[in-house]
Amino acid sequence: MNYFLGIDSSTTGVKALVINAQGEVVGAATTEIPFSTPKPLWSEQDPADWWGGAVSSIRQVLQQTGLSGGDIAAIGLTGQMHGLTLLDENGQVLRPAILWNDQRTGAECDDIRARLGKARLIQITGNDALTGFTAPKILWVQKHEAEVYAKTKHILLPKDYVRYKLTGGFAVDKADGAGMLLFDLAERDWSPELLAALEIPAEWLPQTYEGPDVTGYISAEAAETTGLKAGTPVVGGGGDQAAQAVGVGVVQSGIIALTLGTSGVVFASTNEPFIEPEGRLHAFCHSVPGRWHLMGVMLSAAGSLRWYRDTLAPGLDFDSLLAPAKDVPPGSEGLLFLPYLTGERTPHPDPLARGAFVGLTVRHNQAHFSRAVLEGVAFGLRDSFELMKSAGLAQITQVRVSGGGAKSPLWRQILADTLNAELVTVNTTEGAAYGAALLAGVGVGAWPDVDTACQTSINITGSTSPQPDTAARYEQVYAEYRQLYPALKDISHNLSRV
């Protein structure tokens, strides 16, 4: 029993990953799952698909590795955050889950601010009311589906429905729970004041646990279905971003995780709760006991580069597209790119924000456009760093970068110069599922704490240092970039109505 299983229930698939006691990945399997958009702005998923995907992936990874269920010492869970899953008194799902990217709840967000006051809401939860969070989804069901709401007895997040199917119990880790907009951030538990203001019964919500805490054990029924062993401990785990941070070793103050995927995430571990006064950063509990984190989310990071390639240079591979951009001077000779192709979340929570190329002249060619896209995304990510500093975050000592965009040496150098910080890559690439598996190991004593698990398992594989002259140049260009959103905001909003 020297192996640990991490299960990641994401929007597009369920991954099962096994590591050994040295933190080495010995096997992984993913089962794709569908989601639906039955109406404009809606995004839903059948919880049965999470469970079906988990069963399939668990059985695949056991077969792939030649392990039996008895070889798995503990299981950690992670997955997409914020999704609303409603169960009745018999544990039956009442409606499709409303997902993190569902946008139907604008009126309910306004209602929450009206009931609490925006300042008080941020003071309690660390966050403003956004459509992605769980609380406004609860109010939407309360208002629009009264018959469903009347039958509700349990509220769960996506990965915690998988936990329920594995153990028969109801539980949530504190990191994922904090993303529901129902937490008292400082107390690391449900807020009685919020629950009273929103008229949500406290008994509907599961008990909260720290990331490595054991929350239950594999039931006999789940053992028969999955191939796991009955009685195997299941730990709290974490929401996908907190577990991803554990998976790359961002568990101490001063070390930042920068995920350069379709979206971009800047994640900072903190030893106390920090709150950005306007709620422009997310402030949640970490999966590490007694720690918190700040998080900025950029909606179109590497997604901007993919859009640019697919639209303006179709058929060209990314290496060929970016190679000429190395010879373009920093600042792209006055060409700026605003990467708000799908609206924005941080620092401007504005679904109507739009992208733009600004400063175009006849001197500019495709190489300038390519570099401007890389620089624009880097500037957008720097916005989150600046907000973290203004919230009181201590000096940033290291940035750990991961995601598809981080494969580009040019982009890594632009990021290091823009942020004026060392960028490093690490040996772990499996993200949230890997972090969940580490938390499982900590939960049963394979490592004494999360810090030790990360120090033992995660190693730096590369480093990119900032270039002083280029960093100074980017300071000037970034100052101009910051003026783009306020200058174009009204135009973007007007164009959305044309």
What are the domain boundaries of the chain? 3-242, 250-427+467-498
pLDDT (0 to 100) of residue 396: 83
Q: CA 25, CA 275: separation in Å to the nearest integer?
A: 36
pLDDT tens-digit readout, 171-186: 999 999 999 999 999 9
pLDDT (0 to 100) of residue 200: 98
pLDDT (0 to 100) of residue 103: 87
Cα dist from 194 to 115, 207, 281, whole Å: 9, 16, 20
pLDDT tens-digit readout, 227-274: 999 999 999 999 999 999 999 999 998 899 999 988 899 999 999 998
Greatest Cα-to-Cα distance within the chain, rounded to the nearest angstrom = 70
3-242 and 250-427+467-498 in the same fold? yes
pTM: 0.92
Q: Half-sphere exposure (CA, 13 Å, Cβ side) for 203?
A: 4
Residue 305 and residue 373 in contact, taking contact as beta carbons nearer than 8 Å: yes
pLDDT (0 to 100) of residue 41: 87
Residue 268 and residue 295 in contact, taking contact as beta carbons nearer than 8 Å: yes
272-300 burial by CB neighbour count: b if 16+ within 10 A, else e? Answer: ebbbbeebbbbbbbbbbbebbbbbbbbbb
Tokens of 328: 């373009």
Q: Residue 395 above 80 pLDDT? A: no
Catalytic residue among 240, 310, 469, 490, which?
240
Helix, strand and coil percent figures for the chain, each rounded to 5 = 40, 25, 35
* Range in 100-104, 393-397, 407-411 the model is least confident about: 393-397
Q: CA 370, CA 421: separation in Å to the nearest integer?
A: 23
Mean pLDDT of 181-210: 98
CATH level 3 topology of 250-427+467-498: Nucleotidyltransferase; domain 5 (3.30.420)
Q: For residue 317, count CB atoms less than 10 angstroms from its CB and return exposed for 0-12, middle for 13-18, buried for 19 or more.
A: exposed
Find residue 238's DSSP bridge partners.
Answer: 78
Find residue 265's DSSP bridge partners.
Answer: 259, 297
CATH superfamily name and code, 3-242: ATPase, nucleotide binding domain (3.30.420.40)
Q: CA 258, CA 396: separation in Å to the nearest integer?
A: 12
Closest CA to 444 of 213, 224, 164: 213
Query: Catalytic site residue 327?
Result: no
**Beta strands of 356-451 (E only): which ranges?**
356-358, 398-402, 423-426
